[in-house]
């Protein structure tokens, strides 16, 4: 959903055709840091001040409630779409697995085992090569030792070869630490954005009240 629905409601029912006002209401209604009652109170107060009490509070409240209701319904519809798409993907994967099992049912057991081993080894090699390159190791050669374990010969090592397992454990830990730092940074950025939005809303409401008080003062002078 975009701001068009909010703009239509404000224009048709309250006579507010300001797109900036519609954008502000839309963003506040989408803010997940506040509960519904808090959003409702802020929006009613904001619109009442913007209209300079040209409409009664009950009418303004009815429009705000309808906007919040429709936006919540739209979110529910989006969640259902995502869930349905995930179900379809899972069904497709299950059908693909069943088809693979069906095709391999008539094959010789030793052939199936050897094929699975080759596929697994190929996937392991690709994954481990990517992991090594990610941390600056240039893979020169991939070999299989007498125990059937995969080892890599790579540049930058003090020895000609090194077991992948030890290197993989170290790299996995580095990846986890990097992901944790990234997550913490995103959480901090989100908290700062929420605070900036709240400060902006408070300033906007203060400006509206100031403008309203100035208008009332000018009207009293005329009288």
- Residue at 28 is within a domain: yes
How many separate domains does the chain show?
A: 1
Q: How far apart are CA 168 and CA 94, in angstroms?
A: 31
C-alpha 172/C-alpha 131 separation (Å) is 9
Tokens of 216: 């009332």
What is the rounded distance in angstroms from the CA atom of residue 100 to the CA atom of residue 96?
Answer: 6
For residue 171, being part of any structural domain is answered with: no
In a domain, 191, yes or no: no
101 has which bridge partners?
A: none
Note whether residue 222 is domain-resident. no
DSSP state of 106: T
Q: What is the extent of the structural domain holding 63?
A: 1-106
CB 149, CB 137: distance < 8 Å? no
What's the pLDDT tens digit per position in 145-192? 566 555 555 554 444 344 445 555 555 577 677 777 877 887 787 778
Across the range 40-44, mean pLDDT stands at 88
- 89-148, pLDDT tens digit by residue? 888 888 888 888 777 766 555 555 554 444 455 666 666 666 656 555 555 555 555 665
Q: What pTM was estimated for this model as a whole?
A: 0.41
Of the candidates 21, 30, 68, which has an alpha carbon nearest to the alpha carbon of residue 49? 21
Longest dimension (CA), the chain: 102
């Amino acid at each position: 959903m975009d701001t068009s629905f909010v703009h239509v409601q404000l224009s048709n029912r309250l006579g507010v055709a300001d797109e900036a006002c519609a954008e502000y209401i839309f963003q506040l209604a989408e803010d997940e840091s506040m509960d519904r009652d808090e959003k409702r109170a802020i929006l009613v107060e904001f619109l009442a001040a913007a209209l300079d009490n040209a409409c009664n509070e009950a009418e303004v409240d009815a429009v705000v409630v309808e906007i919040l209701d429709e936006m919540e319904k739209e979110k529910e519809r989006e969640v259902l779409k995502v869930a349905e798409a995930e179900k379809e993907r899972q069904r497709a994967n299950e059908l693909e697995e069943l088809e693979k099992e069906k095709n391999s049912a008539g094959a010789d057991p030793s052939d199936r085992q050897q094929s699975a081993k080759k596929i697994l080894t190929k996937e392991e090699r690709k994954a481990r090569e990517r992991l090594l390159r990610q941390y600056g190791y240039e893979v020169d050669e991939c070999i299989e030792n007498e125990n059937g374990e995969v080892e890599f010969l790579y540049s930058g090592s003090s020895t000609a070869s090194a077991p992948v397992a030890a290197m993989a454990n170290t790299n996995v830990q580095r990846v986890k630490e990097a992901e944790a730092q990234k997550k913490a940074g995103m959480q901090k950025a989100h908290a700062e954005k929420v605070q900036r939005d709240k400060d902006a809303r408070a300033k906007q409401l203060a400006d509206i009240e100031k403008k309203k008080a100035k208008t009332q003062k000018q009207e009293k002078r005329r009288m």
